[in-house]
Amino acid sequence: MIIAVDFDGTIVEHKYPAIGKEIPFAIETLKKLKEERHTLILWTVREEKLLEEAVNFCKERDLEFYAINSNYPEEKKSHDHFSRKLKADLFIDDRNLGGLPDWGTIYRMISEKLTYEDIYYEHEDSYENDNKKKSGILSRIFK
């Protein structure tokens, strides 16, 4: 898959223009996805010096992206005031509807081809099973 990944609020806490603390397991998960032969593109509003800082932050942690704000590394920016649309199979961004899941959930969704609905029902089933386990003799007596 081609996966476009936001930086602020997704890989690091949102402290733009500063670089926030790394979000737990973000770098490790992205490196694992890259090892599994997914193509990662850094997709961010950062430009120039701020973009260079973000790229270096990732490189210092041994995470390099196939391309940055483009589909291919050799693409040149052709317009000045907005990011061009990427061709990606998946976008990981803290501005997703419903917010950013934790990185363990993100990894499972990609590697196991799960949807939000799958995860939701998995948790709902788990909750129902926990309630059934808690229905011991006292809960039956005091119904």
Predicted model pTM: 0.76
Give the model's confidence band at 134: pLDDT under 50 very low, under 70 low, under 90 confident, else very high: low
* CATH architecture designation of domain 2-112: 3-Layer(aba) Sandwich (3.40)
Task: Please give the residue that has the higher pLDDT: either 137 or 55.
Answer: 55
For residues 49-72, average pLDDT: 94
Q: In what order do the strands lie in the sheet with 90-92?
A: 67-68, 39-42, 2-5, 90-92
Residue 74 confidence (pLDDT) = 73
pLDDT of residue 72 exceeding 70, the answer is yes
Residue 135 confidence (pLDDT) = 57
pLDDT of residue 32 exceeding 60, the answer is yes
pLDDT of residue 7 exceeding 60, the answer is yes
For residues 109-130, average pLDDT: 78
Q: Give me the helices (H) in the chain, please.
A: 26-35, 48-59, 103-111, 116-133, 137-141
pLDDT of residue 91 exceeding 80, the answer is yes
Give the model's confidence band at 73: pLDDT under 50 very low, under 70 low, under 90 confident, else very high: confident
- 75-86 per-residue burial string, b: 16 or more CB within 10 A, e: under 16: eeeeeeeeeeee
One-letter amino acid at 82 equals: F
Domain definitions of the chain by residue range: 2-112, 117-143
